[in-house]
Amino acid sequence: MGDRRSIKTKSAIKHAFLKLLQEKEINKITVSDLSKKADIGRGTFYLHYKDVFDLYEQIEDEIFEQLGSFYDSSFPSEDPLSMLTFIEKTTEYIYQNVEIFTLLTKPKMNVLSTNKLKEFFKRKVIEELSMIRQSANSITETEKFETTFIVSGVVGIIEEWINNGMIKTPTCISNIIHQLLLKFEN
């Protein structure tokens, strides 16, 4: 019973946090603001989080954990469609969590989250290349730059999709990204 209450409380806190992010910047949000909005006591907040930034980091960690599981379940693979499957899972996840991704890519928040997203995927791609070649030393500087270029482009497309209100479907965006990646591969 306690676990279910804890999950509900954390969910209420996250929901309150997202609502407050629509109104003000993260560094202006206080634990008191969150407690009032979530209808909990300050002590209850501190049972789950150290401060507002800890809450933010835990939300980001959950996102990266989910994206990482999509990546890890798709790669390495001999299936040429594994990239498309990964992109589809990712865009669908973003679409289903539109509120949080819209807020996390806001101009005031953007620098931290977008850069973390790029670094996350860059690290995943380089890890995969290292594993395939069985040595991180065999990855050339040019390949590292190519990875940065590709990841920045993909994240840029996703960011633009979010900022334009996700008018196109996740499948449509996935296909656009996949087609561009195939062009780069050739």
Among 164, 4, 154, 167, CA closest to 83: 154
Query: Please, what is the end-to-end C-alpha distance for the chain in angstroms?
Result: 55
CATH architecture of structural domain 51-185: Orthogonal Bundle (1.10)
The residue ranking higher by pLDDT, 111 or 77, is 77
pLDDT of 78 > 80? The answer is no
Mean pLDDT to the nearest integer, 158-173: 94
Determine what percent of the chain is predicted with pLDDT higher than 70: 91
pLDDT of 167 > 70? The answer is yes
Kindly tell me the sign of the dihedral angle through the C-alpha atoms of 38, 42, 47, 48. positive
Question: Which pair of tokens denotes residue 76?
Answer: 């390495």
pLDDT of 92 > 90? The answer is yes
Contact 16, 37 (CB under 8 A): yes
pLDDT of 185 > 80? The answer is no
Q: Say which residue the tokens 């390949």 belong to.
A: 143
pLDDT interval class at 181 (50, 70, 90): confident
**Average pLDDT of the chain?**
87
Question: Could you tell me the pTM of the whole model?
Answer: 0.82
165: region left, alpha or beta (phi > 0 left; psi from -120 to 50 alpha): left
The pLDDT tens digits of the residues spanning 10-47 come to: 999 999 999 998 888 888 999 999 999 999 999 999 99
Q: Say which residue the tokens 């996102």 belong to.
A: 63
pLDDT at site 40: 95
pLDDT at site 22: 85
What are the sequence ranges of the domains in the chain? 1-49, 51-185
Rounded CA separation 116/155 (Å): 11
Contact 9, 48 (CB under 8 A): yes
Determine what percent of the chain is predicted with pLDDT higher than 90: 50
pLDDT at site 111: 47
Q: Indicate the CATH number for domain 1-49.
A: 1.10.10
Among 126, 121, 129, CA closest to 156: 121
pLDDT at site 134: 67
The pLDDT tens digits of the residues spanning 113-159 come to: 788 888 988 888 888 777 766 665 677 888 889 989 999 999 999 99
Written in H, E and C, the secondary structure of 57-69 is HHHHHHHHHHHHH
